[in-house]
Structure 1
Amino acid sequence: MLYNKQPYTISDQIKQLQQRGLQIDDDALATHYLSQVSYYRLAGYWWPMQADKEAHLFKPNSRFEDVIHLYNFDRELRVLLFDVIEKIEISLRTKLIYHLSHEFDPWWFQNTAIFNDTSALVETLASIQEEVNRSKDIFIKEHKRKYKEDLRFPPAWKTLELTSFGSLSKLYGNLNNTVKSKDIIAVELGAVNHTYLPSWLQSIAQIRNYCAHHSRLWNKNLPGTPKLLSKPPHLWVNDVPKDTQKLYLHFCIMRYLLNIIAPENSFSKKLQELLKKYPSVDPNALGFKPNWEGEALWTM
């Protein structure tokens, strides 16, 4: 079968949504949003409102205004998480640079002997090389000018300042388990040892990518399964989420790390304020537990 549908005008899009049962009380509002936010981007937010996913028929009392509330909630959530993840990223970068450079040398990230998977390391280094080549930072330009005969990467404290969170998490996860710094970093971030932290970083890096590319987070099933500590050394939740694909578990991990990295953080307050701002948003779609805000993890 060949796809033969033709593009709809915004007016036609509105009529189709109304015919399918979506309540649109303000055509001007719908026209504004559909002209600024694409139909299929908004479709991710009205999809759960449909009773018949094949015929795209909406459940009774489905409203376009609620779709917009979900969209705006999700946008503000990504902004909040980006701020949280930035602190985690900078802390991880700092610890990798410091501990590995002292345990080995400033070019440890090129040392194949301390990594498990050489092929994966080569791929990571290729990404890092692209980041270094694209850089317009003065410290990189000066390094290349002053040390033009040195064909290695700039040392870790220069190179890794340009490296993405995804590449940083891959470097850490790929380190041999015999590398002392791998456990030291895990302990400093409250993860006890190298067993747990890699999966936390991988999930956070994935969420960061969603935020960076403005992808929907609300009601999204996340890939991967973070490994959870049986007896965390710092405040954790009593009601541990079982659903690893929902965001709430990942929020808890971020909060756990953030309470160590930035103890005076306002993540809990801002998250609660965001949910109050959009009361039509169902916290269950994000995996929130009842009375989650009363857990010790979120009250300190």
Structure 2
Amino acid sequence: MVQYTKEALDYAQQIRQLQGRGLAIVDPVKAELYLRKVGYYRLMGYLFPLRVAGSDTYLPGASIDTALRLYEFDRHLRHLVGEAIGHIEVAARTAVTYRLAHAYGSFAHRNAANFRPDGGKGNWHESWLSKVDEQVCRARETFIDHYKCRYTIPPFPEVPIYMASEVMSLGTLSKLVRAMHSVDQAAIATEFHTDIPVLLSWLHAVSVVRNIAAHHGRLWNRVLGVSPKLPRHGVWAGTSSTVPQTRLFFMLCVLNHLLKDTAANITHWRTTVSDHLRPLLVDPSRRASMGAPDNWETHALWQ
């Protein structure tokens, strides 16, 4: 067992430690500003690619300015990813709400008979409803307040599906879709021009990436921890060897596909993302870190 004994360093000590390990810091004032406002360990995620493998020392020519540019690049990338996910969330909520409400009524989600018995572990529907009710109670939406004040049957927080779906988390929505009957799942998948196993996998991956972005986590070179399914048809077939599914570029391709079935201006989003990626992905090592192939701009998945 090894005990952690390192003491906290003040900003000046942090700068000296980085310099002592070979990192060039031309402007200590700027460096200290980022250390104060961003934090040493958050910046370490952007400094790590500049280090000698397996060592605390930095590669020759490594500069904190490079790390700060990566940080700002990633910050804007999270914004672009969040913009796409916002459109996808709205489209998914709308598709699920429309299907369930028209097939089973305004309170479709409250009746376990409207879902598969094996839709989750144990008494999944009861625990799922409990989570939805918590999210409804926490919501600060005018339409929720209006419903609560006007209607008493059924008792609050039992609200119609088209209200509940607007305030439940994407993860909660994904669990609902996973439990739907096959015929209902197929109707949702058709809206996004894919099959249900792929859509369920993609929605889960979108939820994971959304959480990373929402908590300001490093995104650009992260191994995402999920592997979105690869469709077996069309442009997706046979691409697993060129675009690794656990890296961000594949996820950008998934977002690109899903956005085609939303109200978003897909061409504008894809062009903006391409313009943002291009300066960084000139570097082969950066392409590898993001999982982007050499021909990423013309790759079939990015069209």
Distance 1:279-1:194 versus aligned 2 partners, 3 A rule: closer
Q: Which residue of structure 2 aligns with residue 190 of structure 1?
A: 193
Q: Which residue of structure 2 aligns with residue 254 of structure 1?
A: 255
Contact 2:198 2:231 in 1 (8 A): yes
Alignment of 1:1-80 (within 5 A): 1-53=2-54, 55-80=55-80
Q: 1:160-180: CA deviations, max 9, x gaps?
A: 111121211121122233xx2
Root mean square deviation, CA, Å: 2.1
Partner Cα separation in structure 2 for residue 223 and residue 271 of structure 1: 23
Contact 1:223 1:245 in 2 (8 A): yes
Distance 1:17-1:119 versus aligned 2 partners, 3 A rule: farther
Contact 2:248 2:291 in 1 (8 A): yes
Q: 1:145 aligns with which of 143, 149, 169?
A: 149
Q: 1:145-173: CA deviations, max 9, x gaps?
A: 22224226100011111112121112112
Kindly state the Cα deviation for residue 267 of structure 1 after the two structures are TM-superposed. 2.1
Q: Are 1:167 and 2:172 an aligned pair?
A: yes
Contact 1:237 1:296 in 2 (8 A): no
Distance 1:4-1:258 versus aligned 2 partners, 3 A rule: same
Partner Cα separation in structure 2 for residue 63 and residue 222 of structure 1: 27
Kindly state the Cα deviation for residue 98 of structure 1 after the two structures are TM-superposed. 0.4
Aligned length: 293
Contact 1:69 1:278 in 2 (8 A): no
Q: 1:124 aligns with which of 125, 128, 135?
A: 128
Q: Which residue of structure 1 aligns with residue 139 of structure 2?
A: 135
Partner Cα separation in structure 2 for residue 238 and residue 291 of structure 1: 16
Counterpart of 1:159 in 2: which secondary structure? helix
Contact 2:230 2:236 in 1 (8 A): no
Contact 1:236 1:297 in 2 (8 A): yes
Counterpart of 1:261 in 2: which secondary structure? coil
Q: 1:47-69: CA deviations, max 9, x gaps?
A: 1222154x511122211011001
Percent identity between the aligned chains? 31
Contact 2:22 2:60 in 1 (8 A): yes
Partner Cα separation in structure 1 for residue 206 and residue 126 of structure 2: 22
Partner Cα separation in structure 2 for residue 221 and residue 98 of structure 1: 35
Distance 1:263-1:40 versus aligned 2 partners, 3 A rule: closer
Q: Which residue of structure 1 aligns with residue 230 of structure 2?
A: 228
Code of the aligned partner of 1:69: R
Contact 1:249 1:287 in 2 (8 A): yes
Distance 1:176-1:73 versus aligned 2 partners, 3 A rule: same
State which drifts further: 36-45 or 141-150.
141-150
Partner Cα separation in structure 2 for residue 61 and residue 154 of structure 1: 60
Partner Cα separation in structure 1 for residue 264 and residue 146 of structure 2: 36
Code of the aligned partner of 1:270: T
Structure 2 gaps, min length 5: none
Q: 1:269 aligns with which of 263, 268, 271?
A: 271
TM-score (norm 1): 0.90
Counterpart of 1:291 in 2: which secondary structure? coil
Partner Cα separation in structure 2 for residue 279 and residue 286 of structure 1: 9
Counterpart of 2:260 in 1: which secondary structure? helix
Q: Which residue of structure 2 aligns with residue 293 of structure 1?
A: 297
Partner Cα separation in structure 1 for residue 12 and residue 178 of structure 2: 51
Kindly state the Cα deviation for residue 242 of structure 1 after the two structures are TM-superposed. 4.5
Kindly state the Cα deviation for residue 121 of structure 1 after the two structures are TM-superposed. 3.5
Kindly state the Cα deviation for residue 32 of structure 1 after the two structures are TM-superposed. 1.1
Q: Are 1:93 and 2:89 an aligned pair?
A: no
Code of the aligned partner of 1:42: L
Which 4+ runs in 1 deviate beyond 6 A?
Answer: none
Counterpart of 1:195 in 2: which secondary structure? helix
State which drifts further: 166-175 or 143-152.
143-152
Partner Cα separation in structure 1 for residue 70 and residue 150 of structure 2: 52
Contact 1:66 1:280 in 2 (8 A): no
Q: 1:196-231: CA deviations, max 9, x gaps?
A: 110000001100011111111121111222222111
